[in-house]
């Protein structure tokens, strides 16, 4: 799954020891850390199909 931080938040990646980029990052589907962040509203799921369409439309 691909997640990005909710607006106005910085979310630390416990594996890479940095912050999630605004455009999002691919993470494990069964990652308990990100499952909890999703439930708490700290991160948002990124729809890959929508981002691919936006990139295609920009060309």
> Does any domain span residue 38?
yes
> Does any domain span residue 52?
no
pLDDT digits (tens, 9 = 90+) for 7-36: 999 999 999 999 999 999 999 999 999 999
Closest CA to 43 of 23, 58, 59, 57: 23
> Does any domain span residue 51?
no
Contact 37, 11 (CB under 8 A): yes
> Does any domain span residue 57?
no
Q: How many structural domains is the chain composed of? A: 1
Contact 21, 12 (CB under 8 A): no
> Does any domain span residue 24?
yes
Domain of residue 16, residue span: 2-46
Task: Decide if pLDDT at 56 tops 90.
Answer: no
The pLDDT, as a whole number, for residue 50 is: 59
> Does any domain span residue 39?
yes
- The residue that leads in pLDDT, 28 or 55, is 28
> Does any domain span residue 40?
yes
> Does any domain span residue 36?
yes
């Amino acid at each position: 799954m691909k997640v990005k931080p909710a607006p106005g938040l910085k979310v630390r990646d416990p594996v890479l020891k940095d912050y999630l980029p605004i455009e999002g990052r691919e993470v494990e589907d069964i990652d308990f850390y990100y499952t909890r962040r999703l439930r708490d509203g700290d991160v948002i799921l990124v729809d890959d199909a929508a981002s691919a369409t936006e990139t295609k439309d920009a060309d």
